[in-house]
Structure formats: structure tokens, C-alpha cells
A and B are shown apart, each in its own frame.
Chain A
């Protein structure tokens, strides 16, 4: 989170704590780090906004090489007109990535000696406080390739093709400088047989220079089709290793899931040792845990976030504004409705609970690590009616550092020993890291259990009759 927002987040959380009963505080906390998609090298990011059969796809590529060598070939279910293609802003996708990123939250244990007293006093209040709701030409004809349309949009030269046979399509693509691996032929043939069209794009160097662009902006496609799918097969043809895809969907009803692969949830709500506090260490943890989870679950899409876009708790970034959601293709959000005229900067603070501006959008973040062997078929999806919120949330509990010289303090010290050990073994099982190394790092970071103070325990009967 940006530094300026931190105090705001803290204030908002503090207010929330006062409103909510103490037990509800267990779900809040101070957001400290996030694991965004940049962690995963060359991860493709795709945003899909869909309602009914209307779909808007935003594709972001992190292509860093020579722009003359950049080319993309995407099968699409329909022939796209110029007005159906748009160039989006990478920053909006980055914002959505940050909003949905797995997050680390931090708590500070209270003084155990005073906690007991506090709990006694607050019990009545707790009972009364309502629980707060928590919560992506001519020679052509001879080859059986029809150029349906050609456009130059932004820094891209775009050609929409239909084809009758894959050999011709491949020859055409090769001649035009799209380096399609030979093994792709059968995949192209399959898409042709399914009556899919092809969207092919190259960088127009003149336009790119004129725009002064250093990076390639996301391409957006809007179309209507009953097929809710993402073609991944072409990408797997020549890939040596597994690839990462992060799909963000914006829908109205609820969570999106794959219908032809399992959807597994990323392990969440774990207590983590304190040495993982920095963005770098937390990122290292998340990568290791994701790798282990993806391996354990087999070919599955892994759910990292599912949330109503109106709020977040804790917020890794502000919810997107109505204008930003429209930018990402959420066409159903009113053109003039609400504050859609406002820009992102007008959103004031992270919104730890419902309230503020309602946004008619449900976001799902699915992370897929795939190759041709484990994912032979394109990803197919459906929108479900499930509106349960889910997030990858990891908790860091700072132990109380003061005097523990009271019976509750002694209990707390004993609990801490168990808690630290549990954190170490859990981290080892989640990441596959060596447990003794974890213990060592915990000690190096000063996370050692306090000595248990010797307290003469009051006999229970004295406690009972308050003697």
C-alpha cells in the first residue's frame, strides 16, 4: 500500500475496532504487505468482464524484448469490428492486481495481564454490540485465409482472419512475420474446425514512436458470445516450462469458476513468523506456497480472491472506482451512474467494511500454472451464484513484549512457545522449506518465546469465592 494511505488505514481500522465488538477484531488488522502478480515472471494477466453473453477481455503482456519481434495470435469466436477493439491502461489492471493480491496483515498481542480485566469489563458490551458484516489479400485467398479486416489501433497493427485450413494459415502467418511454431498447426486446425476467427497483432513501430510508448499497452476486445472460455492451447505449444496466468473476472452475480478443471482455494488465514514481514520475504513465501499448492492440487485453477468490489478488509489497495471498472469492461456500470465521473484519486481511503460507494461488480482472481500436458483443453468457465468473500490473507502476530508477571502472563508465555512452533511447522508444510532453517530464522529475527514467569497459582476455590 502506498505510504500515505497507511495512517488512513490505521485510523479506519481503529474506528472499525471501536464499533465492532472485541471478538470481531480478529478479522481486522493492519495491512502490511502484498504479493502481486509481478512476483511471477512472465505471468500473463487477463481481465474478463462478463454479463450474459457480453464479454470484454483485457490482455496485458509484460513483453520486454524488441518490439519488432512482438506478435500475438488469439483465436476469437467472432469477427471483430474496429470499434470492438480498444487500447486500455496498464495502470488500471495493475490497480486491480493490487486490490486482489494476497495480503499480509499484522496484529499486536495485547498485554495478557490487562486483557483479562478488559475482557471482564467488555463482556456486557460485546453481547450488545451488533456484529459488523465481515467479511482479465489476395495471396491470402489462395492459402484459404480470408482477411476479414485490418486496423491500426494505438501502437498495434491488427488483422482479423478467418481460415479454411491450417497449413494455409500457418504459411500466411509465417510470411507476414508471425513466428508460429510448426507444432501449432494442429491447434490452429482445431480452432478453424470450431469456426473460430483469429485476431493477430504486431507493433506498428511508427505509431509506437509517435506515442512515445516504452511498453505495450493492454489490448481490449468486446464481443458477444455464449462461450465463456480462455484459449490457452496456442501458448502451450512451444513453451518449455509451465506458464502462469492470472485471470481477473468482473461479473454481477458471483464467483467465476472453471467448469473443466478443478478450482482449489489457496491456503489462507495462517499465522506466519515475523521474519516474513518485508514485501520481499512475504513475496518469497507466497511464491513457494503457490508452487507447493499448485503441485499438490494437480491441474486446477487456484482461487486467490473472490470479493464484492464495493469493499475490502483488509485492503491491499482501494476498491476500483466505477470509472476504472468501466475501463476494464464492466459495461453494465452506469455511464453517468454514481461517481463514475470521478477518477481513482477521488477514492479516499481503503474501505474496511461495507459502506461508501457501492459497485455492482464481483471480482474473482484465479491463478493457473499450466503446460500442454497438464492442461490439454482450453479453460472454460461459468459464473456461479456464490457471493461468499474469499481472500488469501496471512497473519503476523507480534507478541507482547512487556512484563508477564501475572497468572495470565504465565499462561500467555506458555502459549507463545506453542504458537511459535506451530508457525514454524505450518510454514514448513505450506512451502516445503526446511523447518530447522525456519526456526533459526525466527531466532535470528528475535522471535523467541519468553521465559515463563513463576507465579504462585491461586487455588481454584479462592478464585471461585473471590477470597
Chain B
């Protein structure tokens, strides 16, 4: 049987894990090879049972029931289930009134789907920098990007932390713009007690199976604050013959996962808090910042590096990051960069071919700008000085695995001497000087 049941348990962590030689220098890795796989999503007998029951139900009802249950959980007024997060963002923009040739302000740091959804809507993404502490769209930068042709601002609750929606709503209101959330990382995340996806004029959200709230493979959902916005999106699909429909199989899995989402959220929050404690003691690393009044969903966990705190302040931070990244991976921690280039500098936004012949950029040439990485200094600084964990905090990450992750960070932070030695004599191109990475 092809099963995801673990083949062997991970041994309990030991205090000496932290003091042994680095794995990159021939010491024992904190997490042994063969025991590094992180399973996600958690698939249980309840998922199988519900899936089998759904085969006897009208497919349209399976999808509609799922969408209604999740809409109620989020607290949004209206919902439209879709085949992907990208399509949900496309429809959120359409519902919010975005039309061909309009400009939509988006952050320079996000997954590329945010900006491609704007292009799908026939609009032009206009990029603004992020805040240095939350990595979400900077309201002041967003306001500077507003022109007479701007129709909407689309902040991204990046990694699962809601953007500053109070400030962004104020910007939107001052200029008569729609506020559209990209909540693709932010399932169950809250801002002033309200769940992400329910706060904007519209919202799009990925539900693909690598997100904290997974459906059965690929899926998404758009939320709308008004019946008019919802109707606009539905009519758009019909008028243009676009099939963005969600499969009933995908929805059935989401329906059973939704019942356990609060449990998984609690495990993830607990793991994030525990790891923050450990990182806080290392000096070299810091946990994500969460402003008061917001809860972070930790779809990803972006860790800051502070070389000066361990006597490495004279070295380029991106070089320290690259070496630390190698050391962590050698210890068995699957840390990632998760992007290395501002999105406006990715090929589709440099070439701007769009649907062909430059459409829709050709509708609004003034908005179709040539951006340079240096236009986004906060994004560049973040890309140079942070590393990311993705699935590593999610249930079913066992306590012993989480502790071992902590041990690996502590072990690496104890060795500034090794980091300095490994940095020495090597060339380290800036992250954005390499081929653009999507994830």
C-alpha cells in the first residue's frame, strides 16, 4: 500500500544536539537523513469517509455546501468557490469593480499570482514596497503609487499576517478606491478580531493543499462584501464563458478539513510561539513580528538574521544568510529563501507580453513601468536578511521535531566562527542577481 504513514519515529531530542559539531563540518545532523519528511496535509479517516459520502451527493451541492460553511467561518457576506487562488483573486478584483486599463496597487513582495491576477482582470499592477517589520504592503508607499487611474489596492496578508488594514482602508477611502484582500496565506488570521477575507470590499484566497487550510488539491475562494460585487463576478464568468469551477472532489476534502481547522490553527500557533522562544535566545535569529490586534496564521514563518548580535556585523548580511541557510539544511531543517527578487522584476513584468501583443499593458502605457530592484529597498533588505520555514510548524509536526528545529537554530547560532570561515573567500551575489525564484 502506498501510504504516508511514517516509516520510523524521530528520536527524542538531546541536549548535546546543540553542542556537537556542525553537520556541514562532518558532525551529526540534528535531524537525521531519512527522518526529515514533513507530512502535510493531515489526511484522516474522517476525510476518507466524508469523501465517500460525497460521491452520492449532487456535485453542485457538495461545492455549494463547502463554500457556505467556509464563508460562515470567515464571516464574509458572499462567497464564490473557484479552481485556484489566482482565479479567486481575479474574480475578487472584478467584483470590486476593476476594469480593463485600471491600475491596482500591489506589494512588490508576494507570490507572483497576486500580480498575474491583476493582469488576468485586464488591469495593470502597480508595485509598492513593504513595511520592514511585517513584510506587508506599506500604506504610505501604496498611497504614493495611487494615480487617477487607480481602481483598487490589493494588500497581501503575506505569510499569514494581516496587512495594516486600518491604514490601507484610510488610503482607499481618501482616494475612492476598492480594498481587495489577497488572503491566500491567511486562513483564520485575524485583524481586530475579524477573520482575513471578511475585511475588504472583496478578497481572494488560495485553498491549495499546501496552505494551512487545504482542499483536495487545487482550489480557491473569492469573498465579497456586497451582493452587487458577488453578482458582478458571477455575471463576468457567464459573459466571458470562463470556467473557474471547483471540483466536488476538491470541495468534499475541504469540508472535512474545515471541521479540524481550529485544532490545526492551535497547534501551529503553539509551535510558532515555542520556536520564537528558542530563536529569541540565539541572538542571531529573530521570530516574525506580530503587531497588537492581529493574529498570524504562520502559513510561513520568516526568520530574521542579525549578524551583528553574534559579532558578524562586518560581513554582508546576505552572505551570512546564505551560509546559515546551508548550515541549517545540513542539520536537516528545510529552510528556504521563498523568493529572491521583487515581483515587478520577474520576467512577465519586465517583458509585459500579457495576453499577447502587450495587452492589457497597452491600455495604460503610463502605468506599465520598468522597475529596478532598488525601487524596493525594504523588500531587498528582507530578501537579504531572512529565511523561511513553510510546512515545518504545521500539524502533525511532532513536539520532538519542533524541538529539534530549535536545536538546529541554536547549534548554528553558537558557531559564528564557522560562519565567518565559510563566508570568507567566496563570492556571494545578491539574492536578486540570481534567476528569479517563485518560491
Partners in one complex: no
